Every structure is written in structure tokens, then in C-alpha cells.
Structure 1
């Protein structure tokens, strides 16, 4: 069990209105997909508070207290709060900020992975997900193959239909709690390059370009652009003309000096000819 600084069990709270509003879909869960919860998932019972930071979906629940006041313990009052970039540990005033609830919009490139090697001119498919807190839907997902200089709109994949159970009817106007999957296929690349994803939610919120804009001492709610690097193949080694020295040994040493792995190109920049196209 996770323990607080004072040695007591983990405790957290959400407003009563949030807990009792049907549209918020707050659950007390003892089964998942028809099976009893595993210990890792919170057995014997846990809370699920969708659209809200995970710290409010408490696992391994022992006690539920109805109170007039917000939880006053460590993880509610001195942990999950967001402060301005200039606040440091030596001048933080925990009571000056509210406990976090909704998480911000976020998007991720799942495939290909960071650091893959692709030849210039090859075609690549990109896949990932986007999600927004508070039940807000995803309006758009943008992809850049040149580190944010020009953008392409990804295709948002339709959600899988929910099977009707005892009269349940899927309502398209209900809050959007789940990931929105997206794809962008048949993208021709010039490598090396940096690929970026950002998303926009139904309230017009967009991800910041850099973590510098949202840095905070707790490191929470970091939703800046997700980036991956696509590397170019290592150049072939130059084989020396046969002479007095051993040609194979020279070639091997030359290859070692020129390119040990694709990571040797981690700091490569796209060519000027490539950037001029945009």
C-alpha cells in the first residue's frame, strides 16, 4: 500500500457533486471485463473517475467518508498541484493552489518508435492516440514531419460500437472518456527528420510546443508536443585502396569511426534542400 509522509494510507477526495452526477460516470469497481479485479488493478474494490488525473481513482479502497471538507491529507494537499515555473521547493505555498482534477489534452505517436531508421524517399505510416480530460472530445490531430514547420491532419479512427446490453444505447453526446485513435498513412519522408504530434480538443485547447511553458516543480500535466526522431541509415564505410596496410582492417576501423549505430545521427538536422520545400 502506498503510504504518505506521515505513514498513513493513501487518501484522496473528489467533490460530492462530481461523484453523484450520472454524466460523470464515476464508478466503484470490483470487476473488469467480467473478471474479479487483480491486485494490481485495485482488488478488492477501487474508484474509477474518468477524465480526471489518476490520483483520484483510488485503488484498494478500505473506507469511504462523506465529508463537508476536502481531504486534508498529504497527496490531496501537498502533491498533485500545479504551480507557476518560478515556484521552487524553498518558496512553495501548497495552500495557494487547488488540487488537480481534469487532465489536459494529450497526444502520442505510438508507431513508429523513436529512433527508427528510414531511408529518404521511403513511405511511412504513423499511428497513435489522443485524449482530453473532462470528457472533452478530440477535434483534430496534427502531424508535422519537419519539427513543427508545416502540418498535416491525421485521420481520427471511429470508435468501436458498444454492444447493446439491457436497453443501453450509446449516446454520441455523452462525454468522451476514452482515447481517440488516429493514423496518418503513406507519408514520404526525407531523413533524418523530427516528427511531431499535437491535438486540439472540443473546447479549443491545444498542446503547448515546449515544456518550458508549463514547467512546474512537481512535473505534473506535461502535455507538450510529443516528438520522435527518424534517423537516416548510416553511410557505408569507405574502403581504402589496397596498399601496404591490411585493407579489411582499415575498412573496419573506418566504419567504427564513421558510424557505430543509428544513434550517432541523433543530432543530425534535416538538409537545407528538404526544408526549402516547405
Structure 2
């Protein structure tokens, strides 16, 4: 997410908690394509450090070549999505999928791939997706690395009481970059004083890494149905967990905002709640 805090704005769109999706992609591994094109995967050479991608309308980005060459990196040239041909809005006829990384690296409408000794020179690589400290108002863009993997995050997407007098059901998603699996989701109904663990779903199996989100659900106990804010935070397999608020991670662009997510619900409320950021 990109997020401002009440007393500080950001130079960027406020995506909040809903700018995410999870899809099944069909394609070929980029490492295999590069091998067929003559690249020595075992010894690509000292100048082969980055894979640059150029899409339509001059959009471009890059990732470290090591991510491409990793047999478990799963970087794809995708031509299918969810069992069908790749839709135009999602990059038809061909796009890059870089699982575990920010979506800005998964270039759509792919036109060209270059193995280079430097990152892509586009603004989307060199400026837009970088992160600085909360005190930095005028960043020197050359002093920070481009964002690649995402931090651990989670969100509440639905709060519902199925029937009058029934228990309150809370649902949402959790995700961590780099293929790190979500191992725990904690929910609080008393402003973070105490926590309980949500039930994790989508556990049918995993491939080389955990590239997808983890859905979760939680039932608020009867004695806890007093209204107020429902909070959620997630922890991944490396025991990275979300910070409490955005103040300590604020940055000029609002990137990598991953603090606890909260949604207010009234006592005995029956209506479905849409996602709203804390």
C-alpha cells in the first residue's frame, strides 16, 4: 500500500488496502528462454547483472538477473491468466511476471528484454519506487535501491454478521514478498491490548515458494461483540511482522506502507463492510 499519515501527505496515489489481486499465470520460465537464446546460466559473465524489460508506451523496469536465474525464482513470460488467454488490460499478448516482487517489475505488453550491467534507466526504476527515512523531504534518488520485494502486510476485507444475533465473521488477506509464507495472522478487538489467532485458509500446498496471498478468517466471540475497531497484523516465515502505525515508516512517496490495518464496526452491526484503511 501507499499511505499518508494524518499530519503528513505523500507524493503519490493513495492505493490503500484494495489495490491487490491474486491470479494463476501460464507461461514459460524466463531463465529457459534466455538459455535458448545462448545465455550461460551457470556463468553469465561479469556484465550480466540485470534483466531489463521494455513494454509498450516506453514503460520499463528491471530486476536482478540472479532472480531470473534462480531455479526457484519462477520469473515467467506469461501469455495466460486464470486458465484463459492473457486479457489486454493485463498485458496481452505477453508480459513478465516476477512473483514476490512489487508489481511495477512485472512489465505488461512486453516488447524487449535486455541483459545488462545496469538497472533500467526509466523513471519507474530510478525514481518512483524507492523508499527513504521519515525525515527525508527532498531525497537523493541515487542513494537508495529500487524496491523489489514487498514487506509483510495484511488487510480486513469483510466484516459480516450472517444472521440476526449471529457471531461476527471477519475475513481478509495477508501477504509477504520474496515468497515468504504467512505463518500467523493476529486479530485484536481491544485496541491491540490482546490478540487472538485467525484461521488461515488457502493451504492446499505450495510450490518452490509461497507466491500467493493467504486468506484468513476470524469469528469475534459473543463477549467481544461490543463494537469498535478490529485490528489485524500478519507474520511471515522469517518472523517479519507489521509495525503498529505508519509514523515510523512514513516516506515521501508513501511506499511500503504495511502497518496494522483496522476497520470500525458498530455493536451488533449486520451490514457488510467494505475495505477502509486505518
TM-score normalised by structure 1 residue count: 0.71
The count of residues paired between Structure 1 and Structure 2 equals: 212
Instruction: Give 1:158 shift.
Output: 4.4
Q: How does 1:31-180 map to 2 (within 5 A)?
A: 31-88=80-137, 91-112=138-159, 123-160=167-204, 171=207, 174-180=208-214
Asked if 1:16 corresponds to 2:65, the answer is yes
Task: Measure the CA separation in 2 of the matches of 1:56 and 1:11.
Answer: 8
Structure with the bigger RCO (C-alpha within 8 Å, sep 6+) is: 2
Which has the larger Rg? 1
**What is the CA RMSD across the aligned residues, in angstroms?**
2.3
Task: Measure the CA separation in 2 of the matches of 1:78 and 1:141.
Answer: 33
Instruction: Give 1:210 shift.
Output: 0.4
C-alpha spacing 1:158/1:41, structure 2 compared with 1 (3 Å):
closer
Q: Which residue of 1 aligns with 2:47?
A: none
Q: How does 1:256-267 map to 2 (within 5 A)?
A: none
On the 8 A contact 1:145/1:194 being kept in 2, the answer is yes
Instruction: Give 1:191 shift.
Output: 2.7
Unaligned runs of 5+ in 1: 1-7, 162-169, 235-278
Asked if 1:204 corresponds to 2:239, the answer is yes
Asked if 1:181 corresponds to 2:215, the answer is yes
Task: Report the 3-state secondary structure (helix = DSSP H, G, I; strand = E; otherwise coil) of the residue aligned with 2:185.
Answer: strand
Task: Measure the CA separation in 2 of the matches of 1:227 and 1:32.
Answer: 32
* Structure showing the higher strand proportion among its residues: 2
TM-score normalised by structure 2 residue count: 0.71
Task: Measure the CA separation in 2 of the matches of 1:153 and 1:233.
Answer: 22
